[in-house]
Chains A and B, each alone.
Chain A
Amino acid sequence: MQIASCLLQNHTIMTLQEIIQPANKVYGKTPLLTDTPMHYCPGCSHGVVHKLIAEVIEEMGIQDITIGIAPVGCAVFAYNYIDIDWQEAAHGRAPALATAVNRLLPDSCVFTYQGDGDLAAIGTAETIHACNRGENIAIFFINNGIYGMTGGQMAPTTIEGMVTSTSPEGRDVMLEGYPLKISNLLTILDGTCYVTRQAVHTPATVIRAKKAIRKAFENTLAKKGTSVVEFVSTCNSGWKMTPHQANQWMAEHMFKAYPLGDLKDQ
């Protein structure tokens, strides 16, 4: 905007060198995001959440003490995109790895990055017990209601009636159980200090989500216990929608089952 108005007012053509002055910079990629091209589908929420986490780590100046635990699922390659030390866990076990890192390196800042299958199906026990011990870790939880990496199967968080490759007629709760509101469940554990549900589909939600990430890291450094940030997310490929349709569908349907906002903040 600045550059455009400047061009209009002066009626002069600026050279490229003149444009790329630090004074004209309005936005830049954090150096913590590597130059590796992301493998995520266009429209997927992972890329935005990655960027926000990388920005917060940079802004807080904690790159050197932060250790990420990557999941199994679409975010398995998270370690290729954020320039910190990483451990790649087995499916669902990230909170167990994070527990050990937290105990053995109490001055580090440990977070897990997990999807709904990882965190709320196969790793339910590890999630609940890490939270219940109040491990000083941050858990970033991508809930898109579907298994993206394996090609669109039903997740524990798939909402009622939602079509997936393993619930082709839509999730029938009488047959397949109810969508698991695991973040709500985690709020009743004494070990969690902060549980919030966010999204990244509009500029306003992105700003709020970034604040939530920052708070989770601040809690971790202050050794306040476990912080959980759920991101209600889109998987337009798995949902078989355009990115725009997916955002609309999420707002219309997913937010009913998973309303946004803080669930616990102590």
Chain B
Amino acid sequence: MQNKDAFSNYHPFVNFFYFGLVFGFTMFFMHPVCLLISLFCAVCYHICLNGRKSVRFLLRYAVTIMLLTAVINPAFNHQGSVILCYLPTENPLTLESILYGIAASVMLVSVLLWFSCYTAVMTSDKFVYLFGRIIPAMSLVLSMTLRFVPKFKAQLKTVKEAQTGMGRDSANGSLWKRFRSAVTCFSIMVTWSLENAIETADSMKSRGYGLKGRTAFSIYTLTDRDKGALFWLAFCGIYLLSGSLSGGLFWRYFPSIRGVLTEPLTVSFQIVYFALCITPIVLDGREERQWRSLQSKI
């Protein structure tokens, strides 16, 4: 199996811990600098993992979602002390609601990007390795569900091609005919997915999945490198958690914008947050440099 980057080579627990921290902090830190750090790192990592495809995704979907949420918020939220003008509903349009809309959209897009990175790094075998012992049924269901969408898409393509080959093309013919062939296609897919789910479950059961005392093969070992990474992640997590609990990352949007920005402690929290988010990219860069220097020596 080919890994996408250096960070994917780390122990699944390190991967999972990292994403857990990043998701949590991205969702709960509404400090604008933290949001921008998170967005920036998410975009960088997404580009690292997916290359050119990522840029297209970013421009097409991320920007649209961002603009949409940024516009929707001030249309429904009228809190804030700086009134810019009045909307047709006679409710005020406030500066705070616009800024909050932008912040919320940045948060939404960065979480989306982080999840996209998560699916690329945390493959289902890693997930099952981590949770197969603790919550066997749950982790199987989860990994099956996560796998379902790409599998369904692939199968749909196959079925469609087969149907077209049989002359039941859903792109040609009268409206009724097209509708009928689409419904046939859909019905085939539903049957297939049900059958597939039962088959997967049965095959896992016949292999003794989830039985007590059953061991499972895994190629993952917790090396010193992984321990070091875990230590670093734990440090960042504790430091940032204490920072947010002590109000060092305080930021408020309503009724008026108030927050800490340039205090030394706040800056230190933000530096640590940036260091945490950028970790996989740094690891990848280091590995690449090492690889290149080794190559030249040979």
A and B bind: no
B interface, CB within 8 angstroms of A = none
